[in-house]
């Protein structure tokens, strides 16, 4: 998939302005293997299949999609927890997909993550102080008192009292644990934060607090966020731009949150219609609801992956994957309803 909507003049200058530039990213996992579990896999799971996007400093890119659409795989690829099959990830103009050793360590100073489950993301056998200080101990030769000062700073930033450093994670609630996870992510000179469903596990009132905290921190520190979520209201609240994925492919990326009010792609429309309205009398239009089950990424439908569920599917939708088109306002979309010129 050639990035048609991608700025044609994407030279080095453009890339250096951006915190992160991802181009034609592909990740295939081996699917079922032959009898003995050795040899080449029979089929591949196309978790991410040619996705391009970028994130500017101080900006939040929202990434939404159903379970299994490749959202978390993208997070893992950016964090270098997985290696991409092909494609490029550039961080501040530098290619990061082939970093090793010391260079990879340097990259890890700048890119941190907050994960979904606050009960799994803090080591139960370490005190909060040590959990947060880990990055400093790995990357700097700070003295004990320097570390203490810095840890107390980030605890305060995350809205916690410095006294909590001596406690263990089990003494905290989910929201407080997520604050600790955020503090941990900020302890080094973080330039980008990958928030993989960072608030999905929290209850609604706590969720609002954490979202507000994240917004404040972004304003204060100018960090770029990649916010992954399936809660559209939260994404719309936090993100400057939103992108929608379906079965490993990018379907729609909008340059503004306008998107949420005016989805163009039939899948996006369906996704937004599926979200419950805040007022139960605002009955959503059920005609937009997709009927079939989500196909598996092991054997995605031919042509446009969405066509079996699409209310507007045409004949050629099942044979041809739509070219990506840039609409007015910078919105990128892959759908035959919006033909390329």
Partner 1 sequence: MSISDSDSPLETSQEIRQGPKDEGSTSDLQEQGPTSRRARFRTVFGFIGQLPVGSTLILGTLIFFAVFAPLLAPHDPIKPVEGIYTYTPAAWKDGGSWAQWLGTDFLGRDVWSRIIYGARVSVIVGLTGTAAAGAIGMVMGVVAGYFGGWVDAFIMRVVDAWLAIPTLVLAILLSMTLGASMWNIVLILGVVYWTRYARILRGEVLTLRERDFVKLAEVAGASRIRIIARHIIPNVFNTWMVLASLTVGVVIVAEASLSFLGV
Binding site for partner 1 (CB under 8 A): 79, 81, 104-105, 108-109, 111-113, 115-117, 120-126, 131, 134-135, 138-139, 159-161, 163-164, 167, 171-172, 176, 179, 181, 184, 188
Least CB distance to partner 1 at residue 128 (A): 10
Q: In terms of DSSP bridges, do strands 241-246 and 60-64 run parallel, antiparallel, or are they unpaired?
A: parallel
Of 121 and 218, CB closest to partner 1? 121
Q: Where are the beta strands (DSSP E) in the chain?
A: 20-30, 44-55, 60-64, 86-91, 94-95, 111-114, 192-196, 224-228, 241-246, 249-254, 324-326, 332-334
Least CB distance to partner 1 at residue 138 (A): 5
Output helix, strand, coil percentages for the chain, rounded to the nearest 5: 35, 20, 45
CA dihedral (260, 315, 305, 324) positive or negative? negative
Q: Which two structure tokens, joined as six digits, stand for 19?
A: 């915190």
Least CB distance to partner 1 at residue 15 (A): 23
Give the H/E segment covering residue 119. Answer: none
Helix 174-186 to helix 204-221 angle (10° resolution) is: 20
Q: Which two structure tokens, joined as six digits, stand for 77?
A: 């690829």
Torsion of CA 226, 230, 236, 242, to 10 degrees: 50
Task: Count Cβ atoms within 10 A of the Cβ of residue 151 and give its class: 0-12 exposed, 13-18 middle, 19 or more buried.
Answer: buried
Q: How far apart are CA 316 and CA 246, in angstroms?
A: 19
Of 116 and 268, CB closest to partner 1? 116
Least CB distance to partner 1 at residue 91 (A): 14
Place of tokens 């599926």: 274
Of 196 and 252, CB closest to partner 1? 196
Q: In terms of DSSP bridges, do strands 332-334 and 249-254 run parallel, antiparallel, or are they unpaired?
A: antiparallel
> Sheet containing 44-55: which strands, arranged edge to edge?
44-55, 20-30, 86-91, 94-95
Least CB distance to partner 1 at residue 160 (A): 6
Of 171 and 262, CB closest to partner 1? 171
Of 128 and 271, CB closest to partner 1? 128
Of 55 and 232, CB closest to partner 1? 55
Least CB distance to partner 1 at residue 287 (A): 40
Of 74 and 111, CB closest to partner 1? 111
Of 24 and 134, CB closest to partner 1? 134
Of 117 and 258, CB closest to partner 1? 117
Least CB distance to partner 1 at residue 108 (A): 4
Least CB distance to partner 1 at residue 260 (A): 29
Least CB distance to partner 1 at residue 126 (A): 7
Task: Locate all alpha helices (DSSP H) within 158-265, ordered by sequence.
Answer: 174-186, 204-221, 232-238, 258-261
């Amino acid at each position: 998939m050639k990035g048609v909507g991608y700025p044609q003049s994407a030279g080095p200058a453009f890339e250096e302005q951006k915190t992160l530039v991802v181009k034609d990213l592909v990740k295939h996992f081996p699917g079922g293997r032959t009898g003995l579990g050795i040899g080449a896999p029979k089929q591949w799971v196309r978790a991410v299949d040619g996705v391009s996007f970028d994130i500017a400093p101080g900006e939040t890119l929202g990434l939404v999609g159903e379970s299994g659409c490749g959202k978390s795989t993208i997070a893992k690829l950016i964090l270098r927890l997985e290696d991409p099959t092909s494609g490029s990830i550039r961080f501040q103009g530098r290619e990061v997909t082939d970093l090793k050793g010391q260079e990879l360590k340097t990259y890890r100073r700048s890119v941190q993550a907050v994960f979904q489950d606050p009960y799994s993301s803090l080591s139960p056998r370490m005190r909060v102080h040590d959990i947060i200080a880990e990055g400093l101990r790995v990357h700097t030769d700070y003295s004990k008192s320097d570390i203490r000062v810095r840890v107390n700073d980030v605890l305060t930033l995350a809205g916690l009292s410095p006294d909590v450093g001596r406690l263990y994670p089990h003494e905290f609630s989910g929201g407080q644990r997520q604050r600790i996870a955020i503090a941990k992510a900020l302890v080094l000179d973080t330039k980008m934060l990958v928030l993989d469903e960072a608030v999905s596990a929290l209850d609604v009132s706590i969720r609002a607090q954490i979202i507000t905290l994240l917004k404040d921190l972004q304003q204060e520190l100018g960090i770029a966020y990649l916010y992954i979520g399936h809660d559209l209201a939260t994404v719309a609240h936090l993100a400057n731009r939103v992108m929608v994925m379906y079965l490993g492919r990018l379907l729609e990326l909008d340059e503004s949150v306008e998107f949420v009010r005016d989805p163009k792609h039939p899948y996006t429309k369906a996704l937004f219609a599926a979200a419950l309205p805040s007022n139960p009398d605002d009955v959503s239009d059920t005609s937009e609801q997709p009927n079939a089950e989500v196909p598996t990424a092991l054997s995605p439908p031919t042509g446009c992956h969405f066509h079996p569920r699409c209310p507007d599917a045409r004949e050629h939708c099942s044979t041809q994957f739509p070219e990506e088109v840039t609409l007015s306002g910078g919105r990128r979309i892959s759908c035959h309803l919006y033909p390329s010129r």
